[in-house]
Amino acid sequence: MRSSLYILLKSPKFMIGVCLLFVFFAFIVIYPMINTNDPLEMVNMRFQPPSSKNILGTDGFGRDVLLEMAHGTRTSLTVGVISGLIATTVGLIIGIFSGYRGGIVDEILSSLTNVFIVIPSFIILILVSVSIQAKSVFIIAIIIGLTSWPWTARAVRAQTVSLRNRDHVNLARISGFNTVKIIVFEILPYIMSYVVMAFIIQLASGILSEASVSMLGLGPSNTISLGIMLNWALLQEAPLFNAWWTLIPPALTVALITFSFYLINLGMDEIFNPKIRS
């Protein structure tokens, strides 16, 4: 375990990812403490360029972009974590169950998974978002989570199938352990590393999905997120006024946060997958 941690800390990819993330965390925790205003408050005229009063200028509503960024990043991360958790849990349960049980259960669950893989999840996401009226951050996160589990399920199923007939699993089965116990104690530990990495990827793609849905104007209402900021900037014709400060910071933040998660994921891959360890 200690050596794993050591390898991780030595991995530049992992460390860059973690540092980047840490910067963002520090920003969303500390900045709202310094500037305790309501991020939705219109403090200045619209599309004011960066100045000492508004460090990142104001958006099309005359709101402070930097403060919005702090709250928006928080919302985006929340959506990412919740949707990532949901997607990973659902994918894990369906994957393990269908892989371990096999037979007709496997057939049904696999075809369900395949159906969801074939239908682009983003389309489902849009359709569901359109049909729901009052959208809280939590509901958006659930919708994203519930539409992005199939890949996890498929990968977990494949790993479970290969584990199912290992000796220690057979031994447990002969000893009379029930299915739940076997799954939890004999199978889960072997795929845990994969699951953690899948969660990180799901988290990152959850943030991207929220940004995409919100950019289409289907995001959570009465709150602020990075996607919503981009959506309003485009609707209010920010490019026409060269108001780059309303577009570039949120876009860059979405990109950097997801990038840092992917870097962490890559770094962890090096421990769990010795073949590519440098």
Partner 1 sequence: MLAGCGSKSNTKSADVENTTKTGETTTEKTQNEKTAAENKTDDLRKETLFITGLEWGPPSSFNYFTGVASFPVNNQNNMLVYETLFMYNGLSGEIEPLLAESYKWIDDYTIEVKLDKRAYFNDGEPVKIEDVIYTYELGKRYDILWSSLWTYIDSVESKSDDTIIFKLNKKDYNILAVTESLTNVPIHPKHIWEKIEKDANYDISEINKFFNESPVASGSYKIYSYDDTKITLVRDDNYWGKSKFGKLPAPKYITHILFKSNDAASLALKRGDLDYSQNFIPNVWKMWEDGAEVRTYLEEAPYYLSDSMPSIYFNLSKPGLDNPDVRRAIAYAIDYKKIIDIAMNGYSDVVEPALTVNNELESKYIDKDAIKPYQWKYDVDKANEILDSIGAKKGDDGIRVLPNGVRLGPWKLECPYGWTDWNATLEIIQQSAKKIGIELETYFPEDTVYENDRNTGNFDIVMSTPADVITPAQPWKRAHDILSAKELPPFGEQAYWNFGRYKNERAEKILELIPAEKDIERLRKLYTELTIIYLKDIPTIPLMYRPTYFFTVNESVWTNFPHENDGTGIPPYCFDGAGIKSLYNLKNK
Angle at the Cα of 150 (from 149 to 153), degrees rounded to 5? 90
Which CB sits closer to partner 1, 216 or 266? 216
CB 220 → partner 1: shortest distance, Å?
11
Which CB sits closer to partner 1, 29 or 235? 235
| Cβ atoms 154, 94 nearer than 8 A | no
Among 4, 5, 23, 38, contact with partner 1 (rule: CB under 8 A):
38
Per-residue b or e along 135-165, where b marks 16 or more CB atoms closer than 10 Å to that residue's CB: bebeebbbbbbbbbbbbbbbbbbebbeebbe
Which CB sits closer to partner 1, 46 or 173? 46
Q: Which of residues 134-153 bind partner 1 (CB under 8 A)?
A: 134
Q: Should residue 133 be labelled a site residue for partner 1 when binding is judged by CB under 8 A?
A: yes
Among 241, 255, 273, 277, contact with partner 1 (rule: CB under 8 A):
241
Q: Should residue 131 be labelled a site residue for partner 1 when binding is judged by CB under 8 A?
A: no
| Cβ atoms 83, 142 nearer than 8 A | yes
The encoded tokens of residue 273 equal: 């997958």
DSSP 47: T
User: Can you give the length of the chain in residues?
Assistant: 278
| Cβ atoms 76, 225 nearer than 8 A | yes
Cβ-based neighbours of 145, under 8 Å, separated by 6 or more: 82, 83, 84, 85, 86, 87, 90, 202, 206
Angstrom distance (rounded) from CA 219 to CA 138:
11
Number of residues that bind partner 1 (CB under 8 A): 23
Q: Should residue 234 be labelled a site residue for partner 1 when binding is judged by CB under 8 A?
A: yes
Among 23, 181, 185, 237, contact with partner 1 (rule: CB under 8 A):
237
Which of these segments, 36-44, 69-77, 160-168, 251-259, binds partner 1 (CB under 8 A)?
Answer: 36-44
Q: Should residue 40 be labelled a site residue for partner 1 when binding is judged by CB under 8 A?
A: yes
Which CB sits closer to partner 1, 42 or 171? 42
Q: Should residue 240 be labelled a site residue for partner 1 when binding is judged by CB under 8 A?
A: yes
φ, ψ of residue 247 in degrees (nearest 5): -105, -50
Q: Should residue 244 be labelled a site residue for partner 1 when binding is judged by CB under 8 A?
A: no
CB 222 → partner 1: shortest distance, Å?
5
Among 192, 235, 248, 252, contact with partner 1 (rule: CB under 8 A):
235
| Cβ atoms 78, 97 nearer than 8 A | no
Pick the closest to residue 147 from 176, 170, 127, 165 (CA basis): 127
The residues of the shown chain that bind partner 1, judged by CB under 8 A, are 38, 40-42, 45-47, 60-62, 133-134, 217, 221-222, 232, 234-237, 239-241
